Amino acid sequence: MKIVAINGSPRKGGNNAQLLEVVRKEVEAAGVEFEVVQPGANVKPCMACYNCLSTGSLRCVMDDDGVNEIIAKCIEADGILLASPVYHSGIAGNMKCVLDRLFLAAGCGVNHMRHKVGGALCTLRRSGGSETYHQLLATMDCMEMVIATSDYWGVAHGADPGEVMQDEEGLEVAARLGRNMAWLVKAVAAAKDDAPAYAPRPMTNFIR
């Protein structure tokens, strides 16, 4: 069993990186593997060529910025944790680039995200946490994923790198999310034989 966390921060060793280590401790203690991937700032946006969908390649045609490796890891994973800094009340731009390409390539055709456990966290100095947390969740809650929660929204406070470690409540929210995700990946695996069968959904654009 494995959970892959995508750290959308462009900076290394920042608040999301440190918060994810708190989650790692809980997930690994539950016997589930935990890997953090950090795409960095040099990822390109989706250019809407739809090649990934029309070919079913599960890959993006832009093959030089590490996103295809992240897509492959997410397809293999049992759970996906999305973490991002809050940038102007939303997710970081590079995280948006990654998520658009990940979920178009691996979720929108044959849905390889189906029944994976999803979770979200964000860090911020002061405001925009709830919007950002829900933006991260929104990328997953149309993918037939099993969304894990904590007992409060996945938002932890800290501006300079490491400040998040002083947000005692935020750390517990993240740790609890980790415990719940680890438990859910095991529960979903145990119930695999009872999973509802896949049925394709009619797709319209409202005018035909």
Under the rule (CB under 6 A), what is the footprint of ligand FMN?
9, 11, 14-16, 85-89, 123-128, 158-159, 161
55 vs 166, beta carbon nearer ligand FMN: 166
The nearest distance, CB 123 to ligand FMN, in angstroms, is 4
Contact yes or no for 157/126 (Cβ under 8 A): yes
Q: SS3 for 39-68, per residue?
A: CCCCCCCCCCCCHHHHHCCCCCCCCCCCHH
11 vs 115, beta carbon nearer ligand FMN: 11
For the chain, how long is the longest CA-to-CA vector?
54
The nearest distance, CB 155 to ligand FMN, in angstroms, is 9
Cβ-proximal residues to 19 (8 Å cutoff; 6+ apart), any chain: 83, 121, 123, 156, 164, 170, 171, 174
Contact yes or no for 58/52 (Cβ under 8 A): yes
The nearest distance, CB 153 to ligand FMN, in angstroms, is 14
Cα angle, residue 137 at apex, residues 93 and 183 outer, rounded to 5°: 125
8 vs 107, beta carbon nearer ligand FMN: 8
Sign of torsion, CA 9 171 121 118? positive
> CA of 182: how far to CAs of 24, 57, 169, 178, in Å?
10, 29, 20, 6
Residues written for the chain: 208
The nearest distance, CB 162 to ligand FMN, in angstroms, is 8
The nearest distance, CB 19 to ligand FMN, in angstroms, is 8
24 vs 116, beta carbon nearer ligand FMN: 24
The nearest distance, CB 95 to ligand FMN, in angstroms, is 10
